[in-house]
Each structure stands twice: as C-alpha cells, then as structure tokens.
Structure 1
Amino acid sequence: MAGLRAPRRRTAIIVAVVLVLVVWPALSALLGGYERTSGGEIAVVRNGGFFDNNRIRQVIDPGSGRTWVGLYSKVHKYPAQQRFYTITSDARKGDESGVDVVTVPSSDGVNMGIEGTLYFTLNQDHGSLRAFDDKYGTRKFRSADGKTYSPFDGDKGWSAFLDQIVRPVIDNDLRSQINSFRCAELVSSCALVQNTSAPAAPAAPSRPQAPRQGGQPQSNNANIAKVQESINTSLAADLEQTLGGKFVTNIHFNLVRVTLPEKVQDAVDRAQAAFAQVSEAQAKVATAKAEAAANKARQDGYNKCPTCARIEELKALPQGITVYAPGNPNGSLLPRR
C-alpha cells in the first residue's frame, strides 16, 4: 500500500504544477482578453502577445460592451468627454501645483498676469486617435511631482502630457495677443500710475491691433473679448501644427482675469486712495459752500423782515420758558417758577 501511495502523490504534485504553470496563466490570459470602456473614455488596443507585434489592433468607442482584444494586448484609455486646463492664482483650482499664472508683457512693457481656462475635446476619429497614440501614447512625460507618466496613465498622465506639450502653446499665444494691447486697455486702473507723456510702444507687426472707431479706446471688456476670440482662432492652428495633427477639437479659451504686478497694484491702490481723499475734500468744500449760501440767503431774508427773525427766535425757545428777555445781560431766558 505504501508503494502505491508514493506514485499517486507524485502524480498529484505533477498535476498541481501543470495547473499552476500552464492552465492558470492560460485561463487568466483568456479571461483578460476582454476589455470594455466607460462612457467617458475611448481605448486604443495594441498587440502584446509573446510572438506578436506591437501595432495598433483596434479602437474601442466610449461606453462599449465587453470586447475581445486578444491575448496579452495593451489597452490605452484616453478621455472621451470635454476636458479643461485651468491657469489660476488659486493653488486649489489650477492644473499645475501651487500658484500658476502666465505672466506676459503688454505693448507698453507692463508685466500682466493672465488667468483663464482652456476647454477642448480629444478627437475621437479612429484615424486621428491611432496617430495620436503612435506619437504620444508610446512616450512618457514628466509631471510636477518629478515622476514620468504615459498620457493614458489616468489624470496624472494626462496632466503631465498637457503640461509639457499643450501648455507652452497656450503661453506663446497669450504672449502674442497681450502684446498687442496697452496695459490700460485691459486693466483701466493701470492708467492711474502710467506716465502718459511717454509714447506707447508699437504693437507687434504680426498681430496688428484692431482699429478703434472714432479714435476712442475700446472698453476693457471689448478688448478682453478680442483677446479671447484671437486666442481661440490661433490656438486651434498652433496646436494642430505643434502636435502634428488635429488631435484636439472644440477649442475655447476663457480669459478669466488680468492682474497687475504687486508693486504696480500697490501704486494703483495708493492712487485710488488719494483720489478718494480728494473727492472727500471736494465734497466737504461743496457742502460748506452750500451751507454758507443757505445762511446768507436766510440772513438776507431776516434783514428784510425783522419780525420774521423774532418769530424764528421764539420758535427756537425750549418748552417751559415763560419770560423772554433778550436785553438781559445775565441771560435771555428765565425759567418758569
């Protein structure tokens, strides 16, 4: 009996080893050969078998059911819904860590902080998506934390791609557009501290400033709207040229805020405070002049009507006074006994 048990034990061990080394990996690979996408993502599938190439096998559209992608294939999932890239001084809301503001000079040399948000959508055309994955899905990009990610590595990977590839294009377009305007044309308070006797620097020849009707400067809101419109047009062309294809669509930049350097803003605040003090002093002068005019008119009326003056004096007496002696040197009012 002991002699029969030993072969059975060896057989069981061999079967277990075969299951662990062959059957289980094969079963895992078979079950892992299916993939699906949620409603907010689109996937590019690349071959990845032991004896296969690494070419793109297929594209899975958003919200798909379970789809056979082959054994050991690699799936690169990208965002399919509208995305945005925020540039702001609020460290809690920006796409880059900490305070993140694009600082660009105006045509008259004032460094201005630009805050805004770029809205866009990844092109879901299968041909464009395949080309995008060939150019950028096979690379890694360094993020703010110093680590490298692929664009399909979740939010961190997508943000790293935007920071290194898309952000420089945004900065360049903002610089070109803002340089076409003087500081006061975008921030009206800038006129309080600028030397108006100094000639303004000419606008950049490649981005000529739009003519103003009647020679009058346009409002800040109109100029900011022009900046947004120009950026929306130039960004689409510049991103296509920089990325090497029309990989992003529905591009819209919303310019949220234009700020001045800290020292310039401090000067503006002091100038506004000084104007407020001047306005307060002018108001006091106007009040004093009005009171003096009223008193003069009142006195002229009393001179013409002495009786009216006596009546006004009697009306002003406190209640309870029974004797009125205006000629009394000790007082003109005697209280009731």
Structure 2
Amino acid sequence: MDLSGKVAVVTGSGRGLGFAYATALAGAGAAVVVNDVDEGAAQHAVDEIRGSGGTAVAEIAAVGTSEAADQLVNRAVNEFGRLDVMVTNAGILRDRVLWKMTDEDFDAVIGVHLRGTFTCARAAARRMREQGEGGRIITACSPAGQRGNFGQTNYAAAKAGIAAMTRTWAMELAKAKITANALVPVAATDMTRTIPAFAPYIEALEQRGEPLPDWLRAEEGFGTAEDVAGLVVYLASDASADVNGQCIGIGGDKLALWSHPDVVASAYRKGGWSADAIAESWTGTVGSEPQTYGIPAPVVPAS
C-alpha cells in the first residue's frame, strides 16, 4: 500500500495504538504529524519513524479545543504543504461507576474523546475541502461505545457519539470525496490493561515477551497495537475510496464490520399504544427477544 505524497495527522500518537498508526502510515510513505501531550513520547515516536526511513514531525497539543485542532492542521500544511488524513486517536480514561463518577471525570473524557474528535475532524474537513482533492477522516470508536461497559459511562458515551458523528460526516463530506470511517480496535494497550480479563495476557506479552494465545487472537479478536495499524493504512489509501460511514472492528486475527443501530422488531395497534396495552403485548411482540448489552468477558478454553 503506497501512501507516498500523502500527509497525515495522528492525535495521541506518542505511544500505544496511535504510535502504531503513525509508524504504519509513515512506513507506507506518508508524512506524519505525531501529536501528543507528552513531548518526550512524541519526539521518541518521531525519532523511531525517522530511524526507519520515514518522515515525521512532532506537534505538542492537548486535543479538545479548536485552537489545538487548528494547530495540528496548520503544522501539517506548513511542514508538508497539505493534509490528506486525520486520525483522531487521542483519549483518556476516568473509569468509575455512575454513582461515583464526578462531573470532572465525565467532562475530561468527553472533552478529549468527543470534543477532540469533533474539533480535529472539523479543522481537517475545512482544509481538505479547500484543497479540493478529497481526504480521509479516521476516528476511534470502541466496543464500549457499541454495547456499553461497566464503569465507563463517560467513555462509552463519547465513543457512541463518535460513531454517530462519523456516520453524519460520511454524508456531509461525500460530495467533497472525503470519507469518514471509525475504527473499533481491540488491542493490548494501557487502556485494556485495566480490564481484569485481559490484564494477565498483556502482562505476559509486555514483561515476558509471551505471544498472545491463539484463542485470544482468533476467538476474541484481541491482539497487539500493530495488528490494528493495517486497517488505518488501508482507510488512508486510495483503495478505500468507496468505504464510507462504517464502523470497522479489528484485533488479533479478526476483522469485522459492526452494524449500525436499526429497528429489530415492530408491533402496530390501531389507535396507538396505552401503557396497559404495551404491558399486555410486550413479551409477545417487540420484547420477545430483548437486545443484549455489555462486553462479554473472554472465555478461556478448557485445558
């Protein structure tokens, strides 16, 4: 996959998934603006990319504000002359159950994930439309945003919002040949390390170099950050020109397409529905097969 001549911004790319994305994009020939709040991590990422023959610069900014988004787009244009790809990866966690979550916990996560994605995508869309040559907006979603997850009111809300925004942008930007798609990655990162079911395998991978078990990679679709990066390169390329408005899952050995919310059951009653009528018919009509929710824990195969 050749991305020569393309310019990408990857937010939150000093480490983890973002670093894997930036490295893969640069490896395919793109010039990359590496963004992070940690100057040392961002510069280390740039050094690694340059050491492998790639082209990258670091831009330190905390995504969320319009000023930060404009700063990133301007750095790409001033340094490389254009912008073709915006990857909105930056994120934080403030996990707590509903009754313990503070306003600050909620606002911090919404600010980085949801507002940060909005402001960066808007700044990118403005530049790409001005260039008149199309472009790619690649957002970061999560299974938590698709199904909910215990202790993640703020994170799940942000990721669900990102999915909805991405579908909206796919419609709004299609005429300008700018596509908008969402990643739904499942990988060993600082964020997934907080999930008890995954923690032992991530520890074994990072501390002892033990590969993730085959069942985890295949059945659970859980892998490394590098396993996800190929999807970013594909979505950044000309080969994905007809892919738009999709939520695409990837992890380990698994590539998947997530469904969009849709009506799964309907019932009709002449004159409308009273509360008593709903109660009487619920289990025999629309409530006969209620939808599941939450992210199932990995099932370890019996030895």
What band does the TM-score fall into relative to the shorter chain? under 0.3
Q: Which one has the largest radius of gyration?
A: 1
Larger relative contact order (CA 8 Å, sep ≥ 6): 2
Query: TM-score, structure 1 length as denominator?
Result: 0.20
Query: TM-score, structure 2 length as denominator?
Result: 0.22
- The answer to which structure has the higher strand fraction is 1
